[in-house]
Structure 1
Amino acid sequence: MALTLLELAHWSTWAVCAVLKLPQLAAVLAAGSARGVSLGSLLLELAGFLVFLRYQIYYGYPLQTYLEYPILIAQDAVLLLFVLRFNGNMKRALLYAAMFWGGWYVLTLRRWIIDLAMVSAA
Structure 2
Amino acid sequence: MEAGLLWFCNWSTLAVCAALKLPQIYAQLAARSARGISLPSLLLELAGFLVFLRYQCYYGNPLLTYLEYPILIAQDIILLLCVFHFNGNMKQAIPYMAVFVSSWFLLSLRTWLVDLAMNLSTLISAASKFAQLQYLWKVQDSGAVSALTWGLSAYTCATRIITTLLTSSDFTILTRFVVMLALNIWVTATVLRYRKTSAKAE
Deviation at 1:5, TM superposition (A): 2.9
State the partner residue of 2:16: 16
1:82-108 deviations in Å (ceiling 9; x for gaps): 001111111012111100001111111
State the partner residue of 2:118: 118
Give the Cα separation in 2 of the matches to 1:3 and 1:118.
28
Deviation at 1:3, TM superposition (A): 2.4
1:6-52 deviations in Å (ceiling 9; x for gaps): 21221111111111111110010001111111000000000000000
State the partner residue of 1:49: 49
State the partner residue of 1:40: 40
Runs of 4+ in 1 over 6 A off after TM superposition: none
Q: How does 1:79-90 map to 2 (within 5 A)?
A: 79-90=79-90
Consecutive unaligned residues of structure 2, counting only runs of 5 or more, are 123-202
State the partner residue of 1:62: 62
Segment of structure 1 superposing worse, 103-112 or 21-30: 103-112
Deviation at 1:2, TM superposition (A): 3.5
Give the Cα separation in 2 of the matches to 1:109 and 1:115.
11
State the partner residue of 2:195: none
Give the Cα separation in 2 of the matches to 1:70 and 1:9.
18
**Count of paired positions:** 122
What residue identity is the alignment partner of 1:68? E
**TM-score (structure 2 length as normaliser):** 0.58
State the partner residue of 1:3: 3
User: SS of 1:50's equivalent?
Assistant: helix
Give the RMSD, CA atoms, in angstroms. 1.0
What residue identity is the alignment partner of 1:19? A
Give the Cα separation in 2 of the matches to 1:51 and 1:74.
14
Consecutive unaligned residues of structure 1, counting only runs of 5 or more, are none
State the partner residue of 1:108: 108
